[in-house]
Chains A and B, each alone.
Chain A
Amino acid sequence: MTAIRVGHLYPDYLNIYADRGNIAVLARRAALRGHELDVTPLGLDDEIVPGAHDLYYVGGGQDREQLLVAENLAAKADPLREAVAGGAAVLAVCGGYQLLGRGYRGFHGEDMPGVGILPVETAAGDRRMIGDVLLECELEPGVRWTIAGFENHVGRTRLDPDAEPLGRVLAGFGNDGVSGFEGCRQGRVVGTYLHGPLLPRNPWLADWLLAQALAHRSGGDPPALEPLGDALERRAHAISAERARMRGGRY
């Protein structure tokens, strides 16, 4: 048994789209493989200690809450960057994704600093992009997955030319509604607008993150995790994917 150490950033502020569902999925899927998920909330007054956590989770917040934590997180950019350079995995959803980029320019021109771990920048658009989304992605060469979720964001996120998106949009808006891409992936760091929450209906992504976290813990390669039945997960995924195809956003 290995304890997978998760640092949950600002759970009191960034929790608007059922982020605790993602944590529950990671915990149970770890437990079913004989591991324990040891989750530590990291709030405004807590330090980020490189090496102390195998996986960081940053959820989504409303603008007001996001603003309350943005400067605090930006001040912790160095230790967080060091943790990532040391192989820690990160999942950042919605507001958390924006905060991992270089910054966010609000609708009224106000700037919110980011930590600059992902090569992306976000600016508020004039209307919210809301709806079901379906992506196709390839986190490991030759292994294709679809990811189904829900998006609700006014921010348009632009990737640097050499940045790797999380996936290609099959249905829905994605990063900015026009590029055809969604999210950003760099090594073990994943940022995405997809909530719903993300992991219950996309268990392969949960397992990928757990394997990356275990690799950080052991210092070796990501282990192959014993497959689970996932019958319900597949059903939920199929319905969510169908919703995206039927009624996902179009810009």
Chain B
Amino acid sequence: MRRSVSLAYPRGVRPSVPLAVEIAAARAVATLSRLVGAGGGTTVPGKLLSRLDPNAIDRLAARLPAGTALVSATNGKTTTTAMAAEILRPTLRLAHNAAGANLVSGVASTLLAADGAELGLFEVDEAALPQVARRVRPRVVCLGNLFRDQLDRYGELELVAERWRDAVAGLPAGARLVVNGDDPQLAGLAEAHEPVTAFGLDDPRRARPALQHAADSKYCIRCGAPYEYAAAYVGHLGDYRCPRCGHARPQLDVAARAVELHGLESAVFQLATPEGTRRVELALPGLYNVYNAVAAAAVARALGASLDEIAAGLSRFSAAFGRFERIPVEGKELILLLIKNPAGANEVVRTLVDGRPPRTVVVALNDEIADGRDVSWIWDVDFEPLLAGLDRVVATGGRAAELALRFTYGGLDEDAVEVEPDLSRAFDRGLALTPAGGELVVLPTYTAMLALQRIVAARGLARPYWERAG
């Protein structure tokens, strides 16, 4: 398909084709991609468009009357963007890459598919942010957090921070930077820019007793001394201060206060903004989702949403594609929670343990590019509080044996660990171990999650992802 179209012209020769024709051609490819079962057609059309006309994405973005907002983060960018979309949808027609295609090609595909959109709202891959920002000239850029994640793909944390610094330096004049003030690295990065909105958490009762093992940016970005934390919430995110040079968390413009966590059911908090405070009841679990909600609130506010619209949108929100799902299966409930790096997995573990700790879990570890080929991160996850309450864990995926080692060396009895690399059989085994009316918790990495979605869809239990993420 790709060959017959893109090699029709010699290198360097650019045919003059109207944008409308390019769009029609690329859209036809999206339909084909779905028909041949290659997936949702979420990236191929954008790739094709870029081959036809590398500047098409710039022109498509420039057509949006309300401009574009970008959201990047190692953790939570899909959810944050989906929450912002929920807030803004009643008042604006959106171009939103809801299925998570977050490279330049995915953004281009979304722009193509969104006829008559007024606002572009995109989650963007960490490494792709400078390029996407240069192309679409955003009004608002949100930087959510920076954790160790897929070091084999992105290199070190500092490298990502450097790319983001470049992206910020290249933003159009007047573009608003929305940053997580609780992340020292990001707050530091925002110091060179105007205007800035800082968001964060303000509830020391929800702080961890100590920094987690996998905390990343725990040394002062200015002088290298260890930060002191009045409150550490998630990983290295919190209310920090350097005892040596005084570098400290900035004043928060948008904050979550009085946070109440109700296990896997919900999180309730007071959203405090310069315009006032509203109670938000979020139908999502965990402190990490409170961070996502505050980020989304700050983004929507920067785009002109009122406090009432923000509170109503967040309360309406259910869950972003694949991050957290409850699916009824044979009189039981399947609970899918994505794990992908230590910071995120730690929060998933904390949320499970704080609620009704499961007795059985299925954990799925793949090592494809989208999962990270280096699986060492599982050893940095604090699985132990979860292991303490488990009768049985089914380790599955391409690196099931490695996962089983993580659990046995973490203190779980060898007899309590089952190794079943085949996802479908592991899923069945998990179901068989779950009592009638009970919940089966499955913690998959990214490609394992996609595979599980396909398994569930093939059994007629849920629709495929490209039909749901709309």
Contact = CB atoms under 8 A, between A and B. Distances in A.
Interface of A: 12-13, 15-18, 20-21, 24-25, 28, 62-65, 68, 128, 130-132, 150, 152, 195-197, 200-201, 232-233, 235-236, 239-240, 243, 247
Interface in B204-246: 213-214, 218-219, 224, 226
Given A195-B376, A196-B376, A197-B379, A64 B219 contact: yes
Given A25-B409, A200-B402, 18 more contacts: A16-B151, A16-B156, A18-B379, A21-B406, A63-B156, A64-B158, A130-B152, A130-B374, A150-B373, A200-B409, A232-B404, A232-B414, A233-B405, A235-B419, A236-B404, A236-B405, A243-B367, A247-B373
A13 B224 CA distance: 11
15 contacts: A12-B226, A16-B151, A16-B156, A18-B380, A21-B379, A63-B158, A150-B373, A150-B375, A152-B151, A200-B405, A232-B408, A232-B414, A235-B401, A235-B419, A247-B373
Interface string B407-450: 01110001000010000000000000000000000000000000
B465 interface: no
B180 to A, nearest CB: 20
Interface residues of B, number: 34
A28 B409 contact: yes
Nearest 8 CB-CB pairings of A with B: A18-B379, A21-B379, A235-B401, A18-B376, A236-B401, A62-B156, A200-B405, A24-B409
Given A150-B374, A152-B374, A232 B405 contact: yes
B54 interface: no
A239 B401 contact: yes
A21 B152 contact: no
B216 to A, nearest CB: 8
A236 B376 contact: no
A232 B213 CA distance: 26
B379 to A, nearest CB: 3
Interface of B: 148, 151-152, 155-158, 213-214, 218-219, 224, 226, 367, 373-380, 398-399, 401-402, 404-406, 408-410, 414, 419
Contacts of B408: 232
A196 B156 CA distance: 16
B71 to A, nearest CB: 25
B265 to A, nearest CB: 32
B224 A21 contact: no
A19 to B, nearest CB: 8
Contacts of A64: 156, 158, 219
B213 A150 contact: no
Q: Which of B151, B213, B375, B376 has the most CB of A within 10 A?
A: B376
A128 B373 contact: no
B405 A128 contact: no
Contacts of A15: 213-214, 380
B152 A20 contact: no
Nearest to A200: B405
A201 B408 CA distance: 13
A196 B226 CA distance: 27
Contact of A240 (B226, B379, B402, B406): B402
Contacts of B148: 16
A130 B153 CA distance: 8
B380 A239 contact: no
Contacts of B409: 21, 24-25, 28, 200
Contact of B157 (A62, A236, A240): A62
Contacts of A63: 156, 158
A35 to B, nearest CB: 16
A236 B402 contact: yes
Contacts of A195: 374, 376
Contacts of B379: 18, 20-21, 24, 197, 200
Contacts of A232: 401, 404-405, 408, 414, 419
A149 to B, nearest CB: 9
A18 B213 CA distance: 10
A20 B405 contact: no
